[in-house]
């Protein structure tokens, strides 16, 4: 289950219509995957898969990423992008740099 929903994001994106919910839901799934890969952690295992169970700073990072994806639908996020740098700063305290977290173990097994 996604940590956020399109309904959660609509006010953040200043959208009232539900016509773009499927697109927003896709961005949420992509953002969650990006965050977990960047942090090298399985956050659903650590904090729970129920909506909103991740720590507040991680949920806010998801909102920033989804808003960026939504506003820049035709562009990819690059390392030089100020939003990417802001998001990385938000996520830094949660990053597993030991290389032996759940995501790293899964990748090594592949």
CATH of the domain at 32: 1.10.3230
pLDDT tens string 14-58: 999 999 999 999 999 999 999 998 899 999 999 999 999 999 999
Q: Residue 58 and residue 94: Cα distance in Å, rounded?
A: 8
Split into its structural domains, the chain has a count of 1
Q: Is the dihedral of CA 66, 68, 72, 74 positive or negative?
A: negative
Provide the residue range defining the domain that includes 36.
6-109
Are 71 and 104 in contact by the 8 Å Cβ rule? The answer is: no
- Is the Cβ–Cβ distance between 6 and 24 less than 8 Å? yes
Place of tokens 């942090």: 39
- Which tens digits make up the pLDDT trace of 66-83? 998 898 876 555 666 677
pTM strictly above 0.75:
no
């Amino acid at each position: 289950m996604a940590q956020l929903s399109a309904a959660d994001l609509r006010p953040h994106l200043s959208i009232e219509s539900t016509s773009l919910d499927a697109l927003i839901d896709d961005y949420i799934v992509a953002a969650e995957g990006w965050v977990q890969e960047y942090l090298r952690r399985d956050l659903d295992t650590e904090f729970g898969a129920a909506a909103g169970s991740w720590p507040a700073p991680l949920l806010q990072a998801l909102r920033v990423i989804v808003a960026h994806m939504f506003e820049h639908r035709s562009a990819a996020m690059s390392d030089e992008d100020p939003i990417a740098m802001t998001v990385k700063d938000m996520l830094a305290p949660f990053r597993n740099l030991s290389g032996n977290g759940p995501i790293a173990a899964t990748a090594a097994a592949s």
